[in-house]
Structure 1
Amino acid sequence: MCGIAGIYNYHSSKEPSTEQNVKKMLSMINHRGPDESGVYLDENLGIGNVRLSIIDLSSGQQPMCDETGRYWIVYNGEIFNYLELKLKLESTGVRFKTNCDTEVVIQMYAKYGSECLTQFNGQFAFCIWDRNKKEMFLARDRVGIRPLFYWSQNKTFAFCSEIKGLFTLNQIERSLDQESLAQIFTFWTTLAPKTPFKNIVELQPGHFMKVNSNGIQIQKYWNMNFTSGKEAQDRSFSESIEELDELLHDAVKIRLRADVPVGAYLSGGLDSSVTTAYIKDIDSNILNTFSIGFTDKTYDETAFQLEAAKFFGTNHTAFSCTSEELAENFAETIWHTEFPILRTSPTPMFLLSKKVRESNIKVVITGEGADEFLGGYNIFKEAKIRRFWANEPNSTARPKLLTKLYPYIPLLKDSPDLALKMFFGYKLKETEDPLYSHLLRWHNTSRLKSFFTDDFAPSLDKSDPINIVYNNLPENFGTWSDLSKSQFLEANIFMSGYLLSSQGDRMAMGNSVEGRYPFLDYRVIEFCNQLPDNYKLNGLNEKFILKKLSIGKIPDSITSRSKQAYRAPISNLITQKSTSYLKDMLSDESLRTYGIFNPEKVKNLLAKIETHGLISEIDQMAIVGILSTQILYKKFIQEPVIANVENLKNYRIIDQSKL
Structure 2
Amino acid sequence: MCGIAGIFHYQTVKPVDPKRVERMTTALAHRGPDGAGVWTAPGIGLGHRRLSIIDLAGSPQPMHSADGRAVIVFNGEIYNFRQLRRELEQGGARFRTDGDTETILAAWQKWGPDCLKRLDGMFAFALYDLDKRQLFLARDRLGVKPLHMARLGDGSLIFASELKGLTAHPMLRREIDPLAIEDYMTWGYVPDHRSILKRVEKLPAGHFMLLEHGREPGPPQQWWDVGFAEREKGSTADLSAQLLHLIREGVTSRMVSDVPLGAFLSGGVDSSSVVALMSEASARPVATCSIGFDVAAVDETSHARNVAQLFGTDHHERIVSSDQFGKLGRIAGMFDEPFADASALPTLRVCELAREHVTVALSGDGADEAFAGYRRQLFQAREEQARMVLPARLRKPIFGALGAIWPKADWAPRPLRAKITFLALAESGEAGYARALAILAPEQRQALFGEAMLRERGDYRAEQPFIATMRKAPARTGLDRAQYADLKFWLPGDILTKTDRTSMAVGLEAREPLLDHRLIEFAARLPLRQRIRGTQGKWLVKHTMERYLPQDILYRPKQGFVTPLSQWFRGPLAGEARAIAGSELLTGNGWFDRKALSRLAVDHISGRSDNGRVLWQLLMLEKSLRHLSPSA
Q: TM-score, normalised by structure 1?
A: 0.88
> Does the C-alpha gap of structure 1 residues 51 and 173 become closer, same or farther in structure 2, counting only changes over 3 Å?
same
Letter in 1 for 2:117: T
Any conservation in 1 of the 2:56–2:258 contact (CA below 8 Å)?
yes
Letter in 2 for 1:340: P
Identify which of 526, 540, 543 aligns with 1:548.
543
Q: Which residue matches 2:524?
A: 529
What secondary structure sits across from 2:490 in the alignment? Answer: helix
Which deviations, in whole Å up to 9, do the C-alpha atoms of 1:359-405 show, x marking residues without a partner?
A: 2x11101111110111100011122343456658999xxx9xxxxxx
Shift in Å, 1:429: 4.5
Q: Which residue matches 2:506?
A: 511
> Does the C-alpha gap of structure 1 residues 237 and 594 become closer, same or farther in structure 2, counting only changes over 3 Å?
same
> Does the C-alpha gap of structure 1 residues 449 and 37 become closer, same or farther in structure 2, counting only changes over 3 Å?
farther
> Does the C-alpha gap of structure 1 residues 207 and 412 become closer, same or farther in structure 2, counting only changes over 3 Å?
farther
How many Å separate the matches in 2 of 1:589 and 1:191?
A: 25
| Counterpart mapping for 1:471-482 below 5 A | 471-473=468-470, 475=472, 477=474, 479-482=475-478
> Does the C-alpha gap of structure 1 residues 322 and 109 become closer, same or farther in structure 2, counting only changes over 3 Å?
same
Q: Which residue matches 2:402?
A: none
Shift in Å, 1:12: 4.1
| Counterpart mapping for 1:93-112 below 5 A | 93-112=92-111
Q: Which residue matches 2:354?
A: 356
Worse-matched range after superposition: 92-101 or 376-385: 376-385
1:328 aligns with 2:330: no
Alignment identity in percent?
28
| Counterpart mapping for 1:427-446 below 5 A | 427-430=424-427, 433-442=429-438, 444-446=440-442
> Does the C-alpha gap of structure 1 residues 115 and 452 become closer, same or farther in structure 2, counting only changes over 3 Å?
same
Which deviations, in whole Å up to 9, do the C-alpha atoms of 1:465-490 show, x marking residues without a partner?
A: 3233344556564x512221111111
Q: Which residue matches 2:565?
A: 570
How many Å separate the matches in 1 of 2:587 and 2:66?
A: 58
Letter in 2 for 1:90: E
Q: Which residue matches 1:620?
A: 612
Q: Which residue matches 1:263?
A: 262
| Counterpart mapping for 1:330-409 below 5 A | 330-359=328-357, 361-387=358-384
Identify which of 495, 511, 515 aligns with 1:499.
495
Q: Which has the higher contact order (CA 8 A, sep 6+)?
A: 1
Letter in 1 for 2:54: I
Q: Which residue matches 1:227?
A: 229
How many Å separate the matches in 1 of 2:57 and 2:43?
A: 31
Gaps of 5+ in 2: 400-408
| Counterpart mapping for 1:411-430 below 5 A | 411-413=411-413, 420-430=417-427
How many Å separate the matches in 2 of 1:589 and 1:178?
A: 16
Q: Which residue matches 1:211?
A: 211
How many Å separate the matches in 1 of 2:425 and 2:145?
A: 37
Any conservation in 1 of the 2:580–2:598 contact (CA below 8 Å)?
no
Gaps of 5+ in 1: 400-408, 641-659
Q: Which residue matches 2:52?
A: 53
> Does the C-alpha gap of structure 1 residues 59 and 579 become closer, same or farther in structure 2, counting only changes over 3 Å?
farther
> Does the C-alpha gap of structure 1 residues 304 and 472 become closer, same or farther in structure 2, counting only changes over 3 Å?
closer
Which deviations, in whole Å up to 9, do the C-alpha atoms of 1:68-127 show, x marking residues without a partner?
A: 111000000000111111111111121110000001111111111100000111000000
Letter in 2 for 1:372: E
Letter in 1 for 2:28: I
Shift in Å, 1:5: 0.1
Which deviations, in whole Å up to 9, do the C-alpha atoms of 1:22-55 show, x marking residues without a partner?
A: 1111111111000000001101221010000000
How many Å separate the matches in 2 of 1:210 and 1:374?
A: 34
Shift in Å, 1:19: 0.8
Worse-matched range after superposition: 259-268 or 88-97: 88-97
Which deviations, in whole Å up to 9, do the C-alpha atoms of 1:302-355 show, x marking residues without a partner?
A: 110100010010000011111221x22222112112232333111110111111
Any conservation in 1 of the 2:15–2:41 contact (CA below 8 Å)?
no
Shift in Å, 1:440: 3.6
Q: Which residue matches 2:403?
A: none
Any conservation in 1 of the 2:4–2:49 contact (CA below 8 Å)?
yes
| Counterpart mapping for 1:191-202 below 5 A | 191-202=191-202
1:457 aligns with 2:454: yes
Any conservation in 2 of the 1:39–1:49 contact (CA below 8 Å)?
yes
Any conservation in 1 of the 2:338–2:620 contact (CA below 8 Å)?
yes
Worse-matched range after superposition: 110-119 or 3-12: 3-12
Any conservation in 2 of the 1:311–1:555 contact (CA below 8 Å)?
no
1:176 aligns with 2:168: no
Letter in 1 for 2:299: D
Which deviations, in whole Å up to 9, do the C-alpha atoms of 1:563-593 show, x marking residues without a partner?
A: 2232112247645634988876653445444
Letter in 2 for 1:334: A
> Does the C-alpha gap of structure 1 residues 252 and 426 become closer, same or farther in structure 2, counting only changes over 3 Å?
same
Which deviations, in whole Å up to 9, do the C-alpha atoms of 1:437-470 show, x marking residues without a partner?
A: 3334338444235322211221223323323334
Q: Which residue matches 1:307?
A: 306
How many Å separate the matches in 1 of 2:555 and 2:158?
A: 50
Any conservation in 1 of the 2:207–2:221 contact (CA below 8 Å)?
yes
> Does the C-alpha gap of structure 1 residues 375 and 58 become closer, same or farther in structure 2, counting only changes over 3 Å?
same
1:160 aligns with 2:183: no
Shift in Å, 1:638: 4.5
Quote the RMSD (CA, aligned, Å). 2.4
Identify which of 606, 609, 614 aligns with 2:601.
606
> Does the C-alpha gap of structure 1 residues 216 and 14 become closer, same or farther in structure 2, counting only changes over 3 Å?
closer
How many Å separate the matches in 2 of 1:142 and 1:294?
A: 34
Shift in Å, 1:562: 2.0
Letter in 1 for 2:4: I
Letter in 1 for 2:601: L
What secondary structure sits across from 1:457 in the alignment? Answer: helix
How many Å separate the matches in 2 of 1:580 and 1:26?
A: 38
Shift in Å, 1:637: 1.7
Letter in 2 for 1:346: A
How many Å separate the matches in 2 of 1:236 and 1:524?
A: 18
* Alignment: residue pair count: 613
Letter in 2 for 1:303: S
Which deviations, in whole Å up to 9, do the C-alpha atoms of 1:249-280 show, x marking residues without a partner?
A: 11111101110011101100011111111111
How many Å separate the matches in 2 of 1:27 and 1:334?
A: 18
How many Å separate the matches in 1 of 2:501 and 2:574?
A: 23
Letter in 1 for 2:244: D
How many Å separate the matches in 2 of 1:424 and 1:580?
A: 34
Letter in 2 for 1:496: P
How many Å separate the matches in 2 of 1:606 and 1:507?
A: 28
What secondary structure sits across from 2:10 in the alignment? Answer: coil
> Does the C-alpha gap of structure 1 residues 353 and 276 become closer, same or farther in structure 2, counting only changes over 3 Å?
same
What secondary structure sits across from 2:217 in the alignment? Answer: strand
What secondary structure sits across from 2:297 in the alignment? Answer: coil
Letter in 2 for 1:316: H
Shift in Å, 1:499: 0.8
What secondary structure sits across from 2:423 in the alignment? Answer: coil
| Counterpart mapping for 1:3-14 below 5 A | 3-12=3-12, 14=14
Shift in Å, 1:10: 3.1
Letter in 2 for 1:342: A
How many Å separate the matches in 1 of 2:28 and 2:434?
A: 35
How many Å separate the matches in 2 of 1:266 and 1:463?
A: 40
Letter in 2 for 1:260: V
1:483 aligns with 2:456: no
How many Å separate the matches in 2 of 1:163 and 1:303?
A: 38
